[in-house]
Structure 1
Amino acid sequence: MSALLHGSGQPKRAGVDRAVGVGATNQNLNLFADFINELCAEQGRTDTIAAGQGYALRLKTRIFRRTLAWFIARHPGGVIAGALQYRHQSIQMFEGYAGTSDSGFRAEVESEQAIARGEVYMEMIDSHQHAGLTGPSAEEAARRLTDFGEHAQFQGQVALDRHRLRRIMKRHDPAIYPGEYITCVNDPAKALCEKARRGNSEGLPSHGGCLPLACRNVALTAENGAAWQREIVRIDKRLASRPTLAPRLRQRLQHRRAEVVEFLTVNGQEVVPA
């Protein structure tokens, strides 16, 4: 593994097996920013890399921690992933690394995620997807989405203004979380992932805590059904691969396939024959 230097400047004896140090990285960042700004000036562009008014531009690697934290946190499960990635013991410490908890970092992320979900809800309602849901929580999901749609109405019109949508989500969030394989209709009393979290001393979800084939909070859209069908196709390809799989692996794949097929059949989703 390459050695990582923490001193300033370039290493005295640079080699292919030597990583660039922090000081050299900072220097390269600023040289790159200078190059971009000079290029913008030559082309008459105004979108330069600039510091705040009255401040000199001095880029350092540590100023990107919030950018990286935002990138991680804005993905599904990102706040937990960030806490693990940054090797901190709590979400609060991850928030602090991203800026400070007092700065409202987590609240900003959750607000953006809520608005994104609200826009998805409106699309589902407009296309009447909530009427075609299947699965154990399909009726509950349809009821929540119908109620949400009624609150989103203003003088007979559906409001898509972000400010109004944020306010509606804050008061009437149906707590439905669309995903690739399932649409989670959250009810903590029935959630298997909640039971897994309660069993964790730190209160964090255990790895693989979501059990979609067994959880009663599941609803399925047509897109969810298609994703499961692709899973069956992937399993079939592995089972048909050569050389022949080891008996234990083949048995596990066959069991997984049977579980998925039963899950789709029970929940009213079409299963395309192999």
Structure 2
Amino acid sequence: MILCLYLTGMRPQEVQGLRSGCCPDPEPTADGAAGRHLIRSRHYKNVTDEDGNHISAGEDRDIPWVAITPVVHAIRVLERMVPDGELLLSAGHHAFASKRGHHGALKGGALNDQIERFVVWVNREATSLGLSHQTIPEDPHGASGMSRFRRTLAWHIARRPAGLIALAIQYGHMRTVLDARTSSGYASRSQRGLHSVLDVETALAAADTAARLSDRMASGERISGPASRRAIAAAATTPRFEGRIVPAKFAGKAARFLARDGVVLYDNPDAFLICAFKHDNALCEPEPGATAPRQYACRPGCGNTVRTDTHARQLRTRADEIDQMAAAAPGPLGNRLRANSERLRATADAHDTTAQPAEALT
């Protein structure tokens, strides 16, 4: 329950309404890539009938929620605990302390109590294992009820390629689609709070990307791509984020950090590269004034591309996976898959041919 709340941004009532089978395994895409897991659920806020009366049973949500791997695992565990089609948090299967018959999902009060018991259990286990630094401290703002998880989605979704699109679909925040400040005043749908959250999370993700690149180069990995020198400079000058409280004024610093055209690094694991985003070089056709690439529209040959030896290994691993799928696919589809795997290997070969140590580029 905590994973579903924390890593999707669903409302508590929506998690309580999830049923077994709500998150089927996706079919692979035409190029062999794994599809995204989607959660089908019901929503309850502002659901009314023709006369304006609230419908307590809610209705099926038109737009599914994007589910990352830990959420899928949590749902699979719950599906093993309840029958097919049953509520994942069914009171009849989870209310062990009471011998009375229960119907529907566990109530909010019971689930809040479970969260507090979970905190006690974590702290006891951490202490017994000598991991006192992993205990959960007492929250000065009170108990960690279900409603406290609502705005935690940015770190887990916005960092991924097309993550902003997922946010836009799930929440309707148009600024995440347009990816520019031009839409910051779109009438009643303006969400200034979310804007600053996204800026902070995007800046922290870029700092993490720079730190990982610096560590890889320090360990002897080579680097290739037209933006290699800019990436090396960015990795050397970007401060590391090693865990601290983020004050309110950090949002302004994050926005200014992202506005440094040409020296902000964006990880794109789906394309197996780092984008040293410079607006005028970008082939992904970013909006005027955009400070981040359209990662879902990454194009080969872009002047912002950077790869390391790790990316080359990942390219070959992905090519091997696609070849396995091609062997079991019918003729035309298999041919397309094999062509895709050959393209990935050619990209890895190009890296091996042109890559240089960081010292040779500085």
Identity %: 18
**Residue 169 of structure 2 corresponds to which residue in structure 1?**
84
1:184 equivalent in alignment to 2:268: no
TM-score computed with the length of structure 2 as normaliser: 0.48
In 2, distance between residues paired with 1:232 and 1:71?
27
1:21-36 to 2 correspondence within 5 Å?
24-33=106-115, 35=117
Tell me the SS of whatever aligns to 1:219: strand
Change in Cα spacing, 1:36 to 1:111, as seen in structure 2 (3 Å) is same
Counterparts of 1:111-260 in structure 2, within 5 Å, are 111-127=203-219, 129=221, 132-135=222-225, 137=226, 140-146=227-233, 149=236, 170=257, 174-180=263-269, 181-193=272-284, 195=285, 197-198=286-287, 208-211=296-299, 213-241=300-328, 245-260=329-344
Paired residue type of 1:255:
A
In structure 2, do the counterparts of structure 1 residues 116 and 94 end up closer, same or farther at CA, with 3 Å as the change threshold? farther
Deviates more, 1:220-229 or 1:19-28: 19-28
Against the structure 1 CA distance between its residues 217 and 24, is the aligned structure 2 distance closer, same or farther, given a 3 Å change threshold? same
Preserved contact between residue 183 and residue 224 of structure 1 (Cα < 8 Å):
no
Offset at residue 65 of structure 1 (A) = 0.6
Which string of whole-angstrom CA distances, capped at 9 and with x for unpartnered residues, describes residues 127-151 of structure 1?
354xx3223x1xx3135414763x5
Deviations 1:88-133 (A, max 9, x none): 433369994xx9248x42343234224323422432453354xx32
| TM-score between both structures, scaled by the size of structure 1 | 0.60
- Gaps of at least 5 residues in structure 2 are 1-17, 20-40, 45-55, 58-82, 91-102, 177-183, 244-249, 355-362
Q: Secondary structure at the match of 2:275?
A: strand
User: Higher helix fraction: Structure 1 or Structure 2?
Assistant: 1
Cα distance change, pair 90–255 in 1 and its aligned pair in 2 (3 A): same
1:198-247: CA deviations, max 9, x gaps? Answer: 49xxxx98794123x34343232111111111122123323333xxx322
Indicate the structure (1 or 2) with the bigger Cα radius of gyration.
Answer: 1
Question: What count of residue pairs does the alignment treat as equivalent?
Answer: 233
Query: What's 2:140 paired with?
Result: 52
User: Over aligned residue pairs, what C-alpha RMSD do you find?
Assistant: 4.9
Residues 266 and 87 of structure 1: is their aligned pair in 2 closer, same or farther, counting only changes over 3 Å? same
In structure 1, C-alpha distance between the alignment counterparts of 2:120 and 2:315, rounded to whole Å: 52
Structure 1: unaligned runs, 5 residues or longer: 9-14, 153-158
CA positional deviation for 1:256 = 1.7
**Residues 256 and 69 of structure 1, relative CA distance in 2, 3 Å threshold:** closer
Cα gap change, 1:58 to 1:141, in 2 (>3 Å):
closer
Give the aligned residue type for 1:249. Answer: L
Q: Is the 8 A contact 1:74 1:109 kept in 2?
A: yes
Tell me how far 1:249 sits from its aligned partner: 0.5
1:247–1:50 CA distance, 2 compared to 1 (3 A)? same
